[in-house]
Structure 1
């Protein structure tokens, strides 16, 4: 059984083909980072227009890469939300139209469930129940994963997501968009503890996040200090340490609160090496297991959509050809999966 997955929620166009016996057969990805870099962030209209240009060619490449034809595809999964409305419409319309013409089901997929389950792409069966930390440019969420397909939101960012905070501070440090990875490279040359930034909302109960105050604190520090190369690296190091420590503190708190032992980290920010290393040490000391995807599956991609499409096609409710998008779509609203061996 083969599923074609289409991802167009923001500024990456992803197409993949997943086989339930052979695994991932094709994974095509195009990033719009260069297109949006001069604007310092994603321009929704430009993003949707670029998806229109790139989606069909990537589908053709994925079919060729996997030695598949339309007759080999059993269903088409597409990202239906959350995301940018115009971008979502591109993937949803193309996916549903192809499904109609090929006489197969079209399956709307929650983008965040794709990230949450992306570690499975490595044949690494996650252990449930567990906690999932979803960290990206648009989301920072703590999810209680009671079973695959059954989720409860424990906490989320009240303002900027972690990825947004990375990009905004990177901009203040003079780095190009998207700046998260560039900031991390700069932080490697920073000296620890020259600057100490707050770990927001860790001194009070709860599992929500807020990074706007940290962002302001860092901005004031940049403004009030010399902007030589070493000082900027020291500030980058202090910011990264503060944000990573905040995420870890909240994850450990969530594990204790739910009596879970295992943790998933996924989303674009989960590619951050400092986060991975510090989180691994913390979870190991806690007596649990940490799961995360390969770096290539951390950012938005069609592989995770094809994977979840396979699960929802085999074990979920069947879908008709209606085009579905949801700009805002909570994981808690998803129908449960009845997975049989």
Structure 2
């Protein structure tokens, strides 16, 4: 087993740090803890986990073509900890646990959705097989639980995991239903995506010894940020550039997914909505030409405009919640920078 030295990095510069620099700082801060955790796994689970995390290729060899994740959730955890006066060192184990949970969910999501690409290279299950990838995901979750076993945030993480599973379960169930209400679709996104972002922020505040009221404000900041993030992600899934998203455009539409813009369009009650419903309810998968028509109908029915308005609204609420938590000025600046990055991506 390799022992990875934990090098505690200085806080990001207070005013001039870009979003990319903040994420890079967070990634470097948590990676030693992640590598130490992954080294506890036996082969081939260790190799699959490291492949998924972007550390090496399918044979376990580091390479220039390997792309790591953005480390958004660890960055939020670390910055929320800083915002209440905690050091990077104190918050790193919590941030690493959050990243392990996130990647556990990604490994399973790729299998559930049948996605063969992530970060512009083959997904773990498509390389190593679904059973091995499922076990690798389970292992990451077990490592996260081990990392937080004696932490006061463990109960909060447990609640979040239930919300995450419920949200993912609803997402799957919606593909089989002809009618899905917009409110229940928003609730699904709250569980599938926003719950973990809210938990990441709350755990960061807990690492700094924040009071319950302040921790809840940070959770709400992350929750609304997560809803905005999911809305933008759904927009990118329909109108985004595959070179930037790493996924083929229209893959969710071909799979019949009822994402937020789709449900907003289906429930709009206009002509385009009715035409969209007829196409989207067909038992056979959509052809390429159908995807183009469906994409246009979603926009004409108002789904795209609604999703963008809601993304902007939740972004504003998130920033309000952050202000109510009274963060230190430096971390507040960086949290605002990350908020702008993840809720205003090009689409």
Fold conserved between structures, TM > 0.5:
no
More helix by share: 2
Q: When the two structures are superposed, what TM-score results if normalisation uses the length of structure 2?
A: 0.29
Which structure has the higher relative contact order (CA within 8 Å, separation 6+)? 1
